[in-house]
Amino acid sequence: MADTETTLKEAMTSIQGAVGVALVDYGSGMALGTLGSTQDLDLSVAAAGNTDVVRAKLRTMEMLHLKDHIEDILITLCTQYHLIRLLTGRGGKGLFLYLVLDKDRANLAMARHQLKRIESELEI
């Protein structure tokens, strides 16, 4: 089992094309940990903004009476992928991992696979 700091480091080093990663509480919009910001990417601001994305999707699913859960949400930009993975493990309720990838260097399928593995090893 890995703690938050170890998990963020693992994401940055094992996922090809990773630019930044954060563990976010979507109840408050606060990043519990971040790693890898650049001058063009403030992960704390991104965490708060993506909290709105998660909340909106959860509300929509509720209105549609969908008895399912979100595995991940992908936002594709011209130069980046933004991947939001809601935590499902014990203690992870209300949290998500937010990963920013350089589109030219990343393999999206492998990134999703790696993020799922990393999430399974995270202990909150």
Which has the closest alpha carbon to 26: 124, 98, 118, 106? 98
Angle between helices 108-121 and 4-14 (to 10 degrees): 160
Q: Is 15 helix (H, G, I), strand (E, B) or coil?
A: coil
Q: Record the pTM.
A: 0.92
pLDDT given for residue 90 in this prediction: 66
pLDDT given for residue 91 in this prediction: 63
The residue ranges of every structural domain in the chain are: 4-121
User: Domain 4-121 is of which CATH architecture?
Assistant: 2-Layer Sandwich (3.30)
CA 72 to chain centre: 8
Low-confidence spans in the chain with pLDDT less than 50: none
